[in-house]
Structure 1
């Protein structure tokens, strides 16, 4: 099913190489201390959708995170990855949903969901900001959110709302200047029966030492994608993002997660059940700092 021409944000050609953009603020803050990597895994069962959260230790704040769908092939997709800060503690939330095929059927096998979180003591100026798109029956929605007052993005998040498997995240990305986050989603081949939209989330802070955005792109072909990117030596992953171009809802993110040493980010994206006829590219992003 073609959705060419209905994309909210047009994407230029992506080159298969790693790129990095360093941010050089006038007055950087101290590095984030006491960073930790946390994970939590759901039960394995046949439910159509599930939410998994992973909590930061009591004295840490959520910076970024990701998710992984296991056992579902190409028929369960991640439709929410977002940092959540509350008065009683911070966590990272991931939601995944089974997509509905054009004939109304869907995946009924067993699968599980893993949530990953990156936590640390609060850097100077830590702030969580969000923005929501309008809702409707359109095939695509997008929204951006900016950090206020000279702060920079150190973590990102995006969500489809409501998350029923009729729309998939396409872009959850920080801009190259690390001043804002963009989120875009597309309907799958089965149009949503309800009004839907997207939300963008940014973790902002005063600029921290070594703050750099690094990215890598997959080959532009018609195969499923796996691509990774590493932080520069001496820096750690604080936040992570992904973008797909241009499957327009016919491919989706099934895994986006940091490595255990917080030096690498891996993205996995798969075409849907009926496959995408053209070539497409997946790009992974890591926000790194000392």
Structure 2
């Protein structure tokens, strides 16, 4: 596995340019969840849902003024396992946003309408905030794996992954923070019909000087052949979600994550669905909550 140069940014706001084009441009509507007592000052969860139609699309949730993005997640509403959520990334600028892209897979695609819900977790500037990223080279491998680490003893809060060149035929299989939260491993796999083109994955992490009590909580779904299932990770009492992650165990590219989503201040839910051809093996979703 070859990795492009690793870049690190500190808390000065620098715009990250991403080639993400929304099929429909609508004004973002935000739902702010009033923060309870939190380790990070101003910790806020912002959720926004985009239009429901049959186009590929990108949707974003934006942080309030005077806050930085620390993490985020996304969810597909509809799609019946025939839509691939191939981009879930932080975008930093004058206003930080968490951006999610969905694409219908190859023929026959999906005849119905579907939408995207994006969620941003935001806070006033955490101590030691940094952003790091890396990418694999473009190739035609059936799978690619990439690990991005936090620099200087810092620890992961948020993460993002982008599949470039996959055109809906490459599935994000892992967005997995390590047990000690020093890094995140990203894996993407070509779907059951394969992909003839070249593609890459780009991974990003948001890192901070670790607050007291920072830990990773895991929730594992049932290992069986049910076509759609979820897993939930719940923070310990007195802690709140500061970041999210998810993965599919044994999906072989024929199962795709349709939600990696902080559904409340204390829980992260990962939902996954088999593709339109189904999958004969047993598999399970796994949810990760980064709590403090």
Report the TM-score when normalising by structure 2: 0.84
Q: Is the 8 A contact 2:251 2:283 kept in 1?
A: yes
CA distance in 1, matches of 2:154, 2:237: 24
From 176, 179, 190, the equivalent of 1:176 is 179
Stretches of 4+ moved more than 4 A in 1?
none
Across the aligned residues of Structure 1 and Structure 2, the Cα RMSD in angstroms comes to: 1.3
Within 2, Cα distance between the matches of 1:204 and 1:85? Answer: 14
Match of 2:100 among 94, 100, 110: 94
Which position in structure 1 is the counterpart of 2:268? 265
**Match in the other structure for 1:158:** 161
Q: Is the 8 A contact 1:243 1:282 kept in 2?
A: yes
Could you tell me how far apart the structure 2 residues matched to 1:84 and 1:213 are? 24
Secondary structure in 2 matching 1:43: coil
Aligned mates of 1:97, 1:190 — CA distance in 2: 16
- Is residue 233 of structure 2 the alignment partner of residue 229 of structure 1? yes
Find the aligned partners of 1:111 and 1:132 in 2 and give their Cα distance: 29
1:25-64 pair list within 5 angstroms = 31-47=39-55, 49-64=56-71
Tell me the distance in 1 between the aligned counterparts of 2:64 and 2:129: 17
1:15-164 alignment runs, 5 A limit: 31-47=39-55, 49-86=56-93, 88-100=94-106, 104-164=107-167
Kept after mapping to 2: 8 A contact 1:40/1:53: yes
The match for 1:212 among 205, 215, 219 is 215
Q: Which has the higher contact order (CA 8 A, sep 6+)?
A: 1
Residues 97 and 163, structure 1, Cα contact 8 Å, conserved in 2 = no
Confirm or deny that 1:238 pairs with 2:242. Answer: yes
1:192 aligns to 2:200 (yes or no): no
Q: TM-score, normalised by structure 1?
A: 0.85
Could you tell me which residue of structure 1 aligns to residue 17 of structure 2? none
Q: In 1, Cα distance between the equivalents of 2:277 and 2:161?
A: 25
Task: State the SS of the aligned residue for 2:246.
Answer: strand
Instruction: Tell whether the 8 Å contact from 1:31 to 1:123 is kept in structure 2 after alignment.
Output: no
Conserved? CA contact 1:85–1:128, under 8 Å: no
Aligned partner of residue 89 in structure 1, secondary structure: coil
After TM superposition, give the deviation of residue 77 of structure 1 in Å: 2.2
1:11 is matched with which residue?
none
> Aligned partners of 2:138, 2:50: CA distance in 1, in Å?
30
Q: Secondary structure in 1 aligned to 2:112? A: coil
The number of residues matched between the two structures is 254
Secondary structure in 1 matching 2:238: coil
C-alpha distance in 2 between matches for 1:138 and 1:249: 13
Matches of 2:242 and 2:166 in 1, distance apart? 26
| CA-to-aligned-CA distance 1:39-68 (integer Å, 9 cap, x gap) | 111111111x21111110121111111111
Tell whether 2:254 aligns with 1:250.
yes
2:206 paired residue among 203, 207, 211: 203
1:200 deviates by 1.2
Question: How far does the alpha carbon of each residue in 1:15-52 deviate from its partner, in whole angstroms, 9 at most, with x for none?
Answer: xxxxxxxxxxxxxxx931011111111111111x2111
Deviation at 1:163, TM superposition (A): 4.7
